[in-house]
Amino acid sequence: MSLREDIAGYALTIFSRTEGKKRSQLSIGRSIEQSSGVLLCMPEDHNQFRIARYVFRGVLESPVSKRITVLMHESVEADYRIKSNARKIVIKETDLGFWKIPKPSWIIEQGFSTYDLIVDLNTNYHLYAAYLSMKLGDGLIIGFAWEGADEFYNVLLEMNETNSSLENTYRTIRDEYTNLIPLENLKLSSRAK
């Protein structure tokens, strides 16, 4: 993470606080079948990406995948290898502006809509994914907890150090789609009010 990303992230969190944008809220148990649109931000880290690809393969190869948009960084695109009806969008470094957020022209070019379910599978801070989650989310926005994450997501997942591997955490997120997620694993952020 660069100083430029830190500054941009800080400015975005200040802006999102003062913007006062009202967001409709979904219940925790809302499933993918009931969702009009889902954005799944795949991890940029290669090892995390491979785990996420394995865990979400069944969802992405199922009939409901036509409601899913998969966002991935160009560095992991070659590893995707899933036969799916999901819309796949690849973000490149050239698509990011000076502040490391997606250029407005790129967002328009991709034809993004507003999603009522967004899942960011990056366990660490990736400004472009957090920014798109905040900008495009109109309902349940799930992301991992990191300092300042509650400004971007309304449901935060914290890695449990004692009994949780990344694969199990991704399975927990996946099971949200089938209404099986244990509520004690969720921490509602200030945006969920």
Q: Per-10-residue mean pLDDT for the chain, 193 residues long? A: 58 47 42 71 95 90 85 94 92 92 93 87 92 88 88 83 77 62 40 43
pLDDT of the residue at 92:
96
pLDDT for position 8: 57
Show the 3-state SS of 51-120: HHHHHHHHHHCCHHHHHEEEEEECCCHHHCCCCCCCEEEEECHHHECCCCCECHHHHHHHCCCCEEEEEE
Distances (CA, A) of 59 to 86, 107, 138, 174: 10, 25, 22, 8
How many independent structural domains does the chain possess?
1
pLDDT of residue 34: 62
Domain extent, residue 32, equals: 3-192
Residue 35 · residue 5 · CB < 8 Å: no
Q: Is the distance from CB of 150 to CB of 191 less than 8 angstroms?
A: yes
| Distance (Å, whole) CA 8 – CA 129 | 13
First vs last C-alpha separation in the chain: 29
Q: What is the model's pLDDT at position 160? A: 65
How far apart are the C-alpha atoms of 73 and 43, rounded to whole Å? 8
Nearest one of 91, 121, 119 to 107, comparing CA atoms: 91
At 169, which CATH number? Answer: 3.40.50.2000
pTM: 0.76
